[in-house]
């Protein structure tokens, strides 16, 4: 009896191990009792897992490759729609200097915005280089070791960086050095761990510290958060489910079912051997063009994967995709061909999309003001000029930029909307509204004028794509043209 009782207790322990037999999950309360003293973190926030996020975006991180295609569309679309910041100053000479900075850095804006959205924080430091002049140095978030914050103003007062750099010193010879920098508003101290590089302290001519472009950072934080920080677990689930679907379809190859009267005779007719095991071992059903069967006695059939073999997986993938969309806060139409909303929901999503882009622009405005002010300070020393310090940041002011910059803005906008137009998730009215709100100075006129211009563009594109000589021959054959035309 004792032996049976012991086994019964073991079975009961095993049953209690299942989740549905365990204790009910406790929901944490929204409010707790007062604590003295309250904990406040003023260390600037946590560093980004840049290695993982970069590999996720590029599709090389193990265990998340099947989810990488979901990471690219929302970031690429938002970056293209954002355009570039356009600084404005009431002083003419200052405005000319600002325009020059924008023209020089116009290829850096997309990279900056992409890094901030993906990694959560993108650091830039304006400094002077003997060869290139003004540069915006990129500081990876992983090297920003310590951020000293003033507890009264909650502003950065000092920054320490520590980085390990691998460089080539001569052919087939590398060395690794460590560089530690201490940034202050008035000076920068640099220390190396290798004697060939001398330590030094230099004046900080920019008079600003490295500038953080933070995405969705809390009020008391300096660093931001990746757009995908809330859905990393869901991206992992999406990868696992999609990988399982691919595995099922790849491994369940078509199976050949052969009904025969005499296996030896059938193998001799179809495989040139009477050895049954050898015949079927060497037979490839995908390369077999002809199978000889005796009428009414032998038949050949094939077994394929059932059509509903992956239905549960497909439903789970759709559910996970919608959860990822909701978790990122990016409207579904930004995900390109994956959008599934009807016309009514698409209209609502377009306003959400515009609001989302404006929100991201707004969170970068102060950082850009600081970065441009620091750049002006650098140019003041380099060019022996004096510039006004007040800078206002606007976006996509086409009348205030060069022709090349204007072309870059419009090209980025066109890249963003082309995929949505091709996938049928955008109407002409929505395109007209988006164009007016994103580029208010473009002067495209009324909706009817916009449609008429699009028709003319479509006619022109049809003309340049077709061979003019072939078109002339067709018109002559129909009696609608002449050789001169």
What is the Cα–Cα distance from 379 to 368, expressed in whole angstroms? 16
Same domain, 201 and 297: no
Among 250, 224, 210, which residue's Cα sits nearest to residue 50? 224
Same domain, 389 and 334: yes
Length of the chain: 485
Both tokens of 49, joined, read 């897992």
Q: How many folded domains does the chain comprise?
A: 3
Q: What is the pLDDT of residue 441?
A: 61
Tell me whether residue 322 is in a domain.
no
Tell me whether residue 36 is in a domain.
no
Supply the range of the domain harboring residue 462. 446-485
Name the more confident of 444 and 169.
169
Residue with tokens 């019964």: 8
Same domain, 126 and 259: no
- Over the stretch 229-286, which tens digit does the pLDDT of each residue have? 999 999 999 999 999 999 888 888 777 788 888 888 888 888 888 888 888 777 776 7
Q: What is the mean pLDDT of residues 408-433?
A: 69
Same domain, 287 and 374: no
Burial of 464 (0-12, 13-18, 19+ CB in 10 A): exposed
- Over the stretch 121-158, which tens digit does the pLDDT of each residue have? 999 999 999 888 999 999 999 999 999 999 888 889 99
Same domain, 213 and 277: no
Q: Please enumerate, as own/partner, the contacts of 269-277 that have beta carbons within 8 Å and a separation of 24 or more.
A: none
> Sign of dihedral through CA atoms 392, 396, 400, 404?
positive
Same domain, 263 and 335: no
pTM of the model: 0.74
Same domain, 222 and 270: no
Same domain, 465 and 383: no
Same domain, 128 and 271: no
Residue 402, pLDDT above cutoff 80: no
Same domain, 183 and 82: yes
Say if CB 201 and CB 187 are below 8 A apart.
yes
Tell me whether residue 48 is in a domain.
yes
Q: Please enumerate, as own/partner, the contacts of 402-409 that have beta carbons within 8 Å and a separation of 24 or more.
A: 402/99, 402/103, 404/103, 404/106, 405/84, 405/102, 405/103, 405/106, 408/84, 408/106, 409/83, 409/84, 409/439
Q: CB-based contacts of 416: which residues, under 8 Å, 6+ apart?
A: 76, 77, 80, 81
Tell me whether residue 205 is in a domain.
yes
Same domain, 279 and 415: no
What is the Cα–Cα distance from 177 to 470, expressed in whole angstroms? 66
Name the more confident of 424 and 284.
284
Using DSSP's 3-state secondary structure scheme, residue 156 falls into strand
What is the Cα–Cα distance from 81 to 52, expressed in whole angstroms? 26
* Cis ω before 37 (30° cut-off from 0): yes
Same domain, 288 and 401: no
- Over the stretch 68-122, which tens digit does the pLDDT of each residue have? 999 998 898 888 888 889 899 999 999 999 999 998 998 899 999 999 999 999 9
DSSP symbols for 163-210: EEEEEEEETTEEEEEEEEEEE-SSEEEEEESSTTS--EEEE-TT-SPP
Tell me whether residue 467 is in a domain.
yes
């Amino acid at each position: 009896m004792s032996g049976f009782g012991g086994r019964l207790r073991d079975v009961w322990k095993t049953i209690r191990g299942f989740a549905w037999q365990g204790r009910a999950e406790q929901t944490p309360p929204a409010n707790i009792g007062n604590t003295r003293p309250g904990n406040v973190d003023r260390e600037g926030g946590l560093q980004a897992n840049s290695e993982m996020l970069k590999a996720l975006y590029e599709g090389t991180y193990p265990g998340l490759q099947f989810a990488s295609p979901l990471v690219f569309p929302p970031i690429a679309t938002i970056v293209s729609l954002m355009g570039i910041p356009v600084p404005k100053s009431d002083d003419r000479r200052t405005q000319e200097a600002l325009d020059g900075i924008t023209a020089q850095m116009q290829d850096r804006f997309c990279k900056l915005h992409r890094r901030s959205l993906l990694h959560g924080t993108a650091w830039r430091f304006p400094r002077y280089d003997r060869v290139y002049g003004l540069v915006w140095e990129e500081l990876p978030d992983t090297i920003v070791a310590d951020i000293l914050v003033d507890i009264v103003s909650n502003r950065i007062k000092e920054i320490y960086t520590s980085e390990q750099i691998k460089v080539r010193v001569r052919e087939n010879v590398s060395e690794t050095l460590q560089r530690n920098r201490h940034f202050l508003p008035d000076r920068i101290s640099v220390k190396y761990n290798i004697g060939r590089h001398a330590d030094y302290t230099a004046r900080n001519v920019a008079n600003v510290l490295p500038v953080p472009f933070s995405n969705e950072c809390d009020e008391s934080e300096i660093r931001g958060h990746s757009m995908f920080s809330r859905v990393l677990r869901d991206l992992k689930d999406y990868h696992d489910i999609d990988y399982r679907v691919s595995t099922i379809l790849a491994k369940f190859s078509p199976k050949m079912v052969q009904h025969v009267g005499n296996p030896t005779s059938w193998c001799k007719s179809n495989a040139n051997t009477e050895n049954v095991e050898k015949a079927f071992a060497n037979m490839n059903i995908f390369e077999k063009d002809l199978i000889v069967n005796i009428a009414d006695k032998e038949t050949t059939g094939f077994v394929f994967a059932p059509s509903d073999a992956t239905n549960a997986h497909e439903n789970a993938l759709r559910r996970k995709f919608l959860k990822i969309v909701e978790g990122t806060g990016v409207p579904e139409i930004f995900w390109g061909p994956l959008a599934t909303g009807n016309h009514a929901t698409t209209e609502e999503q377009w306003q959400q999309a515009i609001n989302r882009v404006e929100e991201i622009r707004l969170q970068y405005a102060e950082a850009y003001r600081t970065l441009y002010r620091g750049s002006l300070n650098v140019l003041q020393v380099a060019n022996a000029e004096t510039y006004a310090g007040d800078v206002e940041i606007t976006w996509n002011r086409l009348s205030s930029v060069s022709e090349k910059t204007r072309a870059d803005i419009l090209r980025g906008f066109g890249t963003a909307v082309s995929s949505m137009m091709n996938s049928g998730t955008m109407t002409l009215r929505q395109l007209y509204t988006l164009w007016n709100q994103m580029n208010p100075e473009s002067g495209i006129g009324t909706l009817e004028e916009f449609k008429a211009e699009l028709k003319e563009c479509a006619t022109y594109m049809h003309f340049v794509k077709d061979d003019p000589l072939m078109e002339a021959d067709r018109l002559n054959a129909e009696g609608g043209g002449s050789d001169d035309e």
